[in-house]
Amino acid sequence: MARPARPIRLLRLAAALAGLAALLSPGGCSRSAGDAALSHAERDRRSALAERARVAFGRLPERVPGAGADAPELVALGKALFFDRRLSVNGSQSCNDCHRLDGANPSGADGERTSEGALGRRGRRNAPTVRNAALHLAQFWDGRAATLEEQAEGPILDPDEMAMPDAAAVARALEGDPATAAAFRAAFPGTERPVTLRNASRALAAFERTLLTRDRLDAFVGGDLAALSAEESEGLRLFLDAGCVTCHAGPALGARQYQPLGLAHAYPTADPGRFEVTHDEADRGKFKVAPLRDVARTAPYFHDGSIATLEEAVRKMAWHQLGRTLPPGDLRAIVAFLGALDDVGAPPAASAESAVPAGPAS
């Protein structure tokens, strides 16, 4: 059977390379060769689209606001702790086991519907990516942790996750190791007893602030009009015109507000969502709007991980949130656009302080 997808794939590859080139070039927004090949009419159309996208999303910052205050020693400690299985009750699990930053798909999530904890128990929600989490209005699907610092204590003490009994047990697991104790002293100079759960959480948060994604949408918004393929730019237009952007706005394409899941047509879920935090009936069934950067790599989808593919997630969103059935071509284009949000990695040495590699600790 002929594969009509072929030329589109080639186009996408070309667009990916052009986008990458734009990201790597020092100015980041100079006209690429692909850009010059566009017709005048197409350039004008794309230029107007890029401007609309800039207004709706802005661009991902080079660095999380405030992250400049994180000392390199603090970030290095946080990175080591992220991969440290001693943070779980039986030494079997690190943050990285549910939020993979290494391996075949370092998406910051785990590909599981729900994740198995250190003691073999599963929670009820899907593990979201840690990438870009520092840009969210709050942490978790229901926003119950205000900051990354507050969030990090959650999984360590959660019986369904790393299952440590208390803060003292965490300190005991770490402070006996001279190298770890030294890393804490370096990160918290002048502190009498630096190895604490609170300090571990501070370090983990500092490391997570370095985990920003880079993608071709930013290249496009930055003026490289060939960074998206024809289908991807059509998908972007549909995303803006169909109303996805009313919720998925801002640099993370979401994570700035709580919204009902099932605004137009009810979505079956037993999870009360934000209601559990506020106890306000108006918040029942509301969740943090999922951020969409790098979303193609973080299947399965939704708070319960019940949706296996991105295509299905978009189809469900259109129906449950907007009351629409998307024509197959529109659905494909939106999915293609979301694929342009794949992380292409940080540009080398964009800033010395943020140039902490996202790989394993050793």
**Minimum gap (Å) between residue 340 Cβ and ligand HEC:** 13
334 exposure class (CB count in 10 Å sphere: 0-12, 13-18, 19+): buried
Closer by beta carbon to ligand HEC, 20 or else 89: 89
Is there binding between residue 251 and ligand HEC (CB under 6 A)? no
Please give the helix or strand (H or E) that residue 288 lies within, else none: strand 286-288
Q: Give the active site residue among 51, 150, 153, 161.
A: 161
260 φ/ψ angles, rounded to the nearest 5 degrees = -65, 140
Give just the sign of the alpha carbon dihedral 6, 29, 250, 247: negative
The residue count of the chain comes to: 362
- Residue 93 engages ligand HEC in binding (rule: CB under 6 A): yes
The CA distance from 124 to 343, in Å, is 27
Least distance CB 59 / ligand HEC (angstroms): 20
The CA distance from 217 to 233, in Å, is: 9
CA atoms within 13 A on the CB side of 335: 17
Q: Is 175 a catalytic residue?
A: no
Query: Is residue 57 involved in binding ligand HEC (CB under 6 A)?
Result: no
| Residue number with CB closer to ligand HEC (122 or 193) | 122
Query: Interface with ligand HEC includes 248 (CB under 6 A)?
Result: yes
DSSP secondary structure letter of residue 260: E
For the bound state, the minimum distance from the C-beta of residue 325 to ligand HEC, rounded and expressed in Å, comes to 11
Rounded-to-integer distance, Cα 113 and Cα 69, Å: 36
**Site for ligand HEC contains 303 (CB under 6 A):** yes
List contacts with ligand HEC (CB under 6 A).
Answer: 87, 93, 95, 97-99, 115, 117, 123, 125, 127-128, 130, 133, 136, 139-141, 148, 151-152, 155-156, 161-162, 204, 208, 239, 242-244, 246-248, 259, 261, 263, 287, 289-290, 292, 295, 298, 301-303, 310, 313-314, 317-318, 321-322, 334
